[in-house]
Amino acid sequence: MKYPLTLKVNGETYRLEVKPHRSLLEVLRDELDLTGTNDGCRTGNCGACTVLLDGAPIPSCLMLALDAEGHEITTIEALSAGGELHPLQRAFVQRGAIQCGYCTPGMILSAYALLRENPHPTEAEVRRALVGNLCRCTGYVKIIEAVLAAAEEMASAEVGSR
Ligand code: FES
Ligand code: FES
């Protein structure tokens, strides 16, 4: 049996019918074709499926899609809306913080949530914000550097626009 679900994702409203056991991750990928949200462990341990729920990072594999009704979901696709990469995405590319890329959407969304709350984080604060996002490739150093570089770029863009 399926139930009606109204989902708000990246500013769009979707009306769907979903089975009650389907996770938010499954519905984003399979029903909405938002495949930037990656499917990793499905146990809440890897962070590959991270999305923002009302601005806060969550593992979408652990949330039932039906429970997401009434909330604002943001996926990695929202960050490059208009075809331009977000400063975080650019910094990841420029600093070599991407290898296989499987962890990258989740890393970037966790970092994005951090920088919205705290535009000038310390290295320790970046590390803490990314604690739920595992990377098997990069060793994390370049990821941390990329987040700090993006924070700096975003802060100078902010100063320049005043
Ligand atoms: S797939 Fe959700 S935390 Fe790993
Ligand atoms: S770049 Fe491969 S898991 Fe992070």
Tell me the pLDDT tens digit for each residue of 24-37: 999 999 999 999 99
Probe residue for ligand 1, chosen from 46, 130, 134 as the CB with the greatest number of ligand atoms within 8 Å: 46
Contact 38, 102 (CB under 8 A): yes
Q: Which atom of ligand 1 lies at the shortest distance from residue 46's CA?
A: 4
Give the tens place of pLDDT for each residue, 28-71: 999 999 999 999 999 999 999 999 999 999 999 999 999 999 99
Give the tens place of pLDDT for each residue, 124-155: 999 999 999 999 999 999 999 999 999 999 98
Looking at every residue in the chain, the average pLDDT score rounds to 96
Q: 105 - beta bridge partners? A: none
State the first-to-last Cα distance of the chain, in angstroms, to the nearest integer: 54
Q: Is the pLDDT of residue 114 over 90?
A: yes
The boundaries of every CATH 3.10.20.30 domain in the chain are 3-79
The CATH homologous superfamily of the domain defined by 3-79: Beta-grasp domain (3.10.20.30)
Ligand at minimal distance from the CA of 46 is 1
The boundaries of every CATH 1.10.150.120 domain in the chain are 85-160
Distance (Å, rounded) from C-alpha 83 to C-alpha 34? 16
**Any ligand 1 atom below 6 A from CB of 61:** yes
Fold (topology level) of 85-160:
DNA polymerase; domain 1 (1.10.150)
Question: 40 C-alpha vs ligand 1 centroid, how far in Å?
Answer: 5
